[in-house]
Structure 1
Amino acid sequence: MYVRLLCVCLAVVSAIAADADNCKLNGDQESASERAVLERLAPLKNMRFETTHEEYTYKFVVCGGVNGSKSTYDGLIQNKTAKSEITVVGRINDTTVFNGTDWIMLIYGSGEQYDSHCGKEPRKAMIMISCNKKTLASDFMIVHEERDKSKECFYLFEMDSSVACPVEESHLSVGSILLIVFAVLVGIYIIGGFLYQRFVVGAKGMEQFPNITMWKELGNLVADGCDFVCRSQPRSSETAYRGVGDDQLGEEPEERDDHLLPM
């Protein structure tokens, strides 16, 4: 009997603790878009931040309660340093969340009521999370407290985080896919041919390259074609030594010996 009662109590406490560590969206029914934005904030869950402005210190936890506060649902509190007075600015069990292209707005409502400002409505904390790919979370600070209106007052905070950045989808073009396939096929041809030439044929040195003779002939043909197409002037033939033959000798003038005959 007592053991069963103890188990029930532990289960209730565990359920409450688990619920206190999650943002609870306000309204009767949460939308799919709100749930998707909360899932993007999952890497920041239970991360704690603190900033000081004038005589106040602000403590903020993403979808979790601030330690030492009045309730486990207190997600953002204001502490007056001189008097150690804690004021709950927003609670995680009244959460609103939406996003844009490169930002996420996280709102904690149901804070403590104003004493005389804003029609004594509950306080509200608005945290603007801006895209910064270089950090998971940083630069938490208070920007402004709007309390001069009769209603809809708020505390505005901002911070940087990579979770607010748009997801970059990588799409390969048809040309890129063809280049990758071609590179893979060339790699298979070279590696496979090299292994075959080395271990099956027993080739050594450059002869291990597959179809080395064909590639040499192809290289020569390409070189000849390039030489024929790209050369702007005819190639000058080198002067070669040639032997002197009878056909290269000019006819010698006929010698006249008429002057030797007797008169």
Structure 2
Amino acid sequence: MNASLWCACLAVLSVMVTGETVVNDCQLVGEVEKKTSAVEKDLLARLAPLKHKRFETKVLEGSDTYTYTFVVCGRVTNTSNDGLVQTKAGSKDIAVIGRINETHILNGTDWILLTYKGGDKYDTHCGSEPRKAMVMISCNKNTLAENFMIITEERNKSTECFYLFEMDSSVACPTEVPHLSVGSVLLIVFAVLVAVYIIGGFLYQRFGVGAKGMEQFPNISFWQEFGNLVADGCDLVCRSRPRPRSSDTAYRGVGDDQLGEEPEERDDHLLPM
């Protein structure tokens, strides 16, 4: 028997002994009884880009180092529904903090709280109730998922103890509804008015007045005069050389240098022969 078949047999045997149905996706609390809400299902759909991704963080408690492994809607190992587990350095024991077949999820404006219930029972703390892992996923538009870490373990109560983790992800960010700025709206309105003016004026000039050629453009004489005024204004503002005064050009005398040499007149024909 090869190694892969042997591992598969061990997995089936483990399931038969524990009586646990192994799943490989988040199963909401009450899903079997069909008592889940549409909101929770929508939130699980938002986590789709993170499904089966694995994250780890380590923490030092005294002289011991603990590693926490978290899989989003997936199993950490292949023999149980463990979605978040704790391992101790130098030890082979694994404590299941939460299982994916007992998932609860809720959200706020910019966060999603994913809870795995049904973990291994405490030995002496919290009335020996099952452990529970709560992962706070905070909005960070710059990353798909990172900065997974443990915040605290609350086990000083008789009931409702929990492990609290946090991580950053863009899937927790609210969906932005695109909207136009005031300037964009004004530009659109202006463009629409110009289009209506040109098209409507063209149709009126062509079919109402019977104009042809350039005369079909609405108020053509006004726009031509307006263009001339704009050109004169630009010439006045932008010209670098001083313009000659009109009096100089109108009344300027003729200088000697402008007089050409007149041809010599001959009067020989007036003398008597």
Q: What's the TM-score once normalised by structure 1's chain length? A: 0.65
The residue aligned with 1:126 is: 134
User: Structure 2: 5+ residue runs without aligned partners?
Assistant: 1-11, 16-20, 199-219, 237-242, 255-273
Q: Distance in 1 between matches of 2:123 and 2:150?
A: 21
Is 1:164 aligned with 2:172? yes
1:129-148 to structure 2, matched below 5 A, reads: 129-148=137-156
AA in 2 matched with 1:57: T
Shift of 1:236: 8.5
Offset at 1:19?
A: 7.3
Stretches of structure 1 that go unaligned for 5 or more consecutive residues are 1-12, 190-212, 229-234, 245-263
Q: Number of residues paired by the alignment?
A: 196
Aligned pair in 2 of structure 1 residues 173, 134: CA closer, same or farther (>3 Å)?
closer
CA offsets 1:197-254 (integer angstroms, 9 cap, x no match): xxxxxxxxxxxxxxxx9987643233447899xxxxxx9935335237xxxxxxxxxx
- The partner residue of 2:66 within 50, 56, 73 is 56
Q: Does 2:158 match 1:155? A: no
The answer to whether 1:26 aligns with 2:32 is: no
Deviation track 1:158-213 (CA, whole Å, cap 9, x = no partner) reads 00000001111002368635635839x98xx9xxxxxxxxxxxxxxxxxxxxxxx9
Q: Percent identity?
A: 61
User: In the alignment, what sits opposite 1:101?
Assistant: 109
Q: Which residue number in structure 2 is paired with residue 251 of structure 1? A: none
Q: Are 1:176 and 2:184 an aligned pair?
A: yes
The equivalent of 2:41 in structure 1 is: 35
- The aligned counterpart of 1:220 is 228
Q: Secondary structure at the match of 1:20?
A: coil
Normalised to the residue count of structure 2, the TM-score between the two structures is 0.63
Tell me the secondary structure at the aligned position of residue 140 of structure 1: strand
Residue 25 of structure 1 aligns to a residue in which SS? coil
Q: Aligned with 1:87: secondary structure?
A: strand
